[in-house]
Amino acid sequence: MDYQYTGYTEDKRIVKGRLSASSEEAATDMLAYSGCKVLSLKEITPFVKGAGFSARFSPINPMEVIMFTRQLALLLESGTDIVTALELLQAQVTSRSLKKIIAGVVEDIRSGSPFSQALSKHPHAFPQTYHRLAAVGEKTGNLEVVLRRAADYMERNLTTQKKVKNALIYPVILFILTIGVVGVMVGFVFPAFTSFYASFNVELPATTRALIALTDWLRSYGLWILLVIVVIIAAGYAYTRTPAGRYQWGKLMLTLPRFGHINLLNELSRCCRSLALLFSSGLPLPEAMTLVIQGTNNKAMEAALSEVQQDMIAGAGLSGPMAKNKLFMPLMVQMTAVGEGTGNLDSALTTVAQSYETEADDKTKALVAVITPATTVIIALIIGFIAISLVSAMYSIYGSVNV
């Protein structure tokens, strides 16, 4: 089997690579023998592979995983063994995909695999952070406690994502309606009136002439404009698939006016929340940082966290390296320093996460409160301009006919 690893050497350098080994334990031993301390190790699975391939077309609802985790923690807390608990949950789960996954986990456990290792074979349902937490819970004997923390963490993340999506639904719908209404009126309605106006051979008002000129221009060059827009979007998308493009896009998402600050708050709160959860569960800080880095989709934030991790491994602590990068806001840096000094790093990071989540929520609501009426006003102005152009033209024609 092939494994992808992240670790650091004796001279405090972070190294990444791939190796082949018969098992995860063998891969760890090989790296340790070569002088590399493992931070992250995961099996590389091919794209087209049975359950993994079908999972791409049958995604699992995160809420189902959260409920499964809470129920599993409850059964384990009541004294039920892991296999019996999983079989009970398998009978209750309604999702076919999750039911198959649980069956596979049970089969692996009966074959002698640890629970966490069985979970690691299903990353589309249980991400790396999840099964690494499960591994920590197995070692410490507090699996039910760790599972409950993981469920709380996943639920908070899901709630945050839903808040952002729900807040943006109405403005997006208004924007789409605006484009649709304008497209129908300019492409179909107004051209019919244009030929009608031309038959009377009268001088039309300035607003009507401007709208006719705009309509003719869009009908002549509209397809070319659309083609240029598609090419620009395709080129931009292709650029964002490159390492440099992903980094620049991530940086842009964190520095845009208004939107960027909200994205930054959400990213930092997720990082604080993840790091607090992993560290409080007993995971070493370097390994916890690796999972936090792997959990972010923003390449600019990933690069910033990687720099912090490199300096931290070199002995500079956590708050010191954070202070060097402007992406890490002052409250996060200060509270991290306090947590390091008092030995309550997880509590300090949780406080920061709560503060940033509240601030991001307030700013999102304020932004939507501005966008919604602004979009409504723009729609009213566009439709009003078209209506005035049509009505004023009718009055001009009526006046010339009466004369």
Position 367 confidence tier, pLDDT thresholds 50, 70, 90: confident
The pLDDT of residue 49 is: 46
**pLDDT at 56 (0 to 100):** 46
pLDDT recorded at residue 201: 72
- For residues 321 and 188, the model is more confident at 321
In this structure, are residues 194 and 211 in contact, taking their beta carbons and an 8 Å threshold? no
Residue pLDDT, tens place only, 24-71: 777 777 777 677 888 777 777 654 444 444 444 456 888 899 999 999
Residues 302-328 have a mean pLDDT of: 91
Q: What ranges in 185-284 are assigned the alpha helix state H? A: 190-198, 206-240, 243-255, 259-280
- Cα–Cα distance list, 337 to 97, 280, 375 (Å): 44, 17, 44
Under the banding of pLDDT at 50, 70 and 90, the label for residue 193 is: confident
pLDDT at 352 over 90: yes
Domain parsing of the chain, residue ranges: 1-44, 156-403
Task: Kindly state the percentage of the chain with pLDDT values over 90.
Answer: 28
Burial of 270 (0-12, 13-18, 19+ CB in 10 A): buried
End-to-end CA distance of the chain: 91
Task: Report the half-sphere exposure of 113 (CA within 13 A, side-chain side).
Answer: 17
Amino acid at 340: E
Question: What's the pLDDT tens digit per position in 234-285?
Answer: 999 999 989 899 999 999 999 988 888 988 998 999 899 889 888 888 888 8
Rounded Cα distance between 107 and 94, Å, is 19
Q: What is the C-alpha to C-alpha distance for residues 177 and 163, in angstroms, rounded to an integer?
A: 22
Predicted pLDDT at 21:
67
* C-alpha separations of 348 from 68, 237, 279, 306, 340 in Å: 29, 39, 12, 21, 9
pLDDT of 347 reads: 92
Which whole-number Å values give the CA distances from 152 to 52, 67, 156, 185, 274, in the listed order?
A: 26, 10, 6, 50, 11
The span from the CA of 22 to the CA of 82, in Å, is 26
What is the SS3 assignment for 384? Answer: helix
What is residue 48's predicted lDDT score, i.e. its pLDDT? 43
Average pLDDT, the chain: 83
Asked whether the predicted pLDDT for residue 296 surpasses 50, the reply is yes
Q: Please, which pLDDT band fits residue 189 given cuts at 50, 70 and 90?
A: confident
- pLDDT for residue 50: 45
Higher-pLDDT residue of 90, 220: 90
Burial of 147 (0-12, 13-18, 19+ CB in 10 A): buried
Give the pTM: 0.73
CA-based nearest residue to 351, from 364, 336, 361, 340: 336
Work out the pLDDT band at 351, boundaries 50, 70, 90. very high
In whole angstroms, give the CA distance from residue 293 to residue 302.
Answer: 5
Helix (H, G, I), strand (E, B) or coil at 258: coil
pLDDT attached to residue 282: 83
Superfamily of domain 156-403: Type II secretion system (T2SS), domain F (1.20.81.30)
For residues 374 and 379, give the distance between their C-alpha atoms in angstroms, rounded to a whole number: 9
Separation of alpha carbons 17 and 40, rounded Å: 11
